[in-house]
């Protein structure tokens, strides 16, 4: 962005993790991939240490704070935000937020929705035996077999069940109290597979590259999109419910 480098503070000493910590108080859902996306769009231009790591200045943090606030509170598109930042880089006053709709307070932080970290592999993922899974999730042996028959739950290596298997089993056990059976849930599985396929398509240009940074970026984008797809799915299900059932 023209002029941004010359106006940036020379004290570019913050890592991307430190930037997130500074922003998280006001923006609890900010992620590494979000900041990297804004960088890829040219809205913030951190310097690079000799090692290649990004180094942010306080000026960069201020820009990010403005961008995130404009998106959350005013729903401004990136094109408009870019124009505002360009005006600031040319020595003009930072635009004062115009009156307009703001996100409802109870929805602004997407409370209860998973973030991208939920979709990352964990080296500490659990390993549960069949007996442990049944005891902890509340599913019977018969129900667990049905879940496996419909490929809703599977054991890794034919022996151990991980955290995904536990969440599915526990959720299905709770839904079974309302008369749901595994055969009723095939639509959920199909929808999840279609959504995962869309995420894969979106990151295909990155996964086709061999350099480590592209591979890392592909993972970040995939996890962010996965979290957004869950948020969208929840909103659409909520919208589809009749008003009389939503209380």
Q: What are the tens digits of pLDDT across the range 118-151? A: 676 654 467 889 999 999 889 999 999 999 999 9
Answer yes or no: pTM beyond 0.75.
no
Q: How many CA atoms lie within 13 A of 33 on its CB side?
A: 21
User: What pLDDT does 107 receive?
Assistant: 45
Smallest CA-to-CA distance from 173 within 135, 143, 129, 130 is with 143
User: What pLDDT does 3 receive?
Assistant: 42
User: What pLDDT does 9 receive?
Assistant: 44
Asked if 20 contacts 116 with a C-beta cutoff of 8 angstroms, the reply is: no
56 - beta bridge partners?
Answer: 14
Asked if 74 contacts 97 with a C-beta cutoff of 8 angstroms, the reply is: yes
Q: Say how far apart CA 94 and CA 88 lie, in whole Å.
A: 5
Q: Say how far apart CA 32 and CA 178 lie, in whole Å.
A: 40
Neighbour count for residue 121 (Cβ, 10 Å):
7
Using CA atoms, how far residue 124 sits from 120, 128, 161, 226, 227, in Å, is 11, 12, 13, 21, 21
**pLDDT tens digits along 157-189:** 888 998 889 989 999 999 988 898 888 898 899
User: What pLDDT does 93 receive?
Assistant: 67
Q: The tokens 């990151």 sit on which residue?
A: 203
DSSP state of 203: H
Smallest CA-to-CA distance from 173 within 122, 125, 124, 136 is with 136
Q: CA-based angle 219:226:33, to the nearest 5?
A: 45
Residue-range domains of the chain with CATH? 4-107 (1.10.1660.10), 123-180 (1.10.1660), 184-247 (no CATH)
How is residue 185 written in tokens? 């849930």
Which residues of the chain have a pLDDT value below 50? 1-10, 99-109, 123-124
- The residues near 86 (Cβ < 8 Å, ≥ 6 apart) are 1, 2
Q: Say how far apart CA 100 and CA 13 lie, in whole Å.
A: 36
Per the rule left: phi > 0, alpha: psi between -120 and 50, beta: everything else, 154 is beta
Q: Say how far apart CA 140 and CA 187 lie, in whole Å.
A: 22
């Amino acid at each position: 962005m023209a002029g941004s480098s010359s106006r940036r503070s020379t004290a570019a000493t913050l890592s991307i993790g430190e930037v997130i910590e500074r922003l998280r108080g006001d923006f609890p859902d900010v992620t590494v991939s979000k900041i990297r996306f804004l960088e890829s769009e040219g809205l913030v231009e951190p310097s690079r240490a000799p090692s290649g790591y990004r180094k942010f200045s306080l000026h960069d943090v201020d820009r990010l704070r403005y961008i995130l606030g404009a998106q959350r509170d005013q729903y401004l598109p990136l094109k408009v935000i870019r124009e505002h930042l360009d005006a600031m880089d040319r020595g003009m006053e930072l635009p004062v937020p115009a009156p307009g709709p703001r996100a409802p307070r109870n929805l602004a932080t997407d409370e209860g929705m998973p973030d991208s970290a939920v979709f990352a592999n964990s080296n500490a993922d659990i390993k549960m035996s069949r007996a442990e899974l049944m005891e902890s999730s509340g599913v019977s042996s018969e129900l667990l077999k049905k879940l496996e028959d419909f490929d809703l739950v599977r054991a890794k290596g034919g022996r151990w069940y991980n955290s995904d298997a536990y969440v599915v089993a526990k959720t299905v056990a709770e839904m079974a109290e309302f008369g749901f059976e595994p055969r009723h849930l095939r639509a959920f599985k199909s929808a999840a597979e279609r959504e995962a396929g869309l995420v894969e398509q979106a990151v295909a240009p990155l996964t086709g590259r061999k350099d480590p940074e592209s591979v890392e970026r592909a993972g970040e984008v995939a996890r962010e999109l996965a979290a957004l797809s869950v948020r969208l799915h929840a909103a659409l299900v909520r919208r589809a419910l009749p008003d009389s059932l939503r209380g």
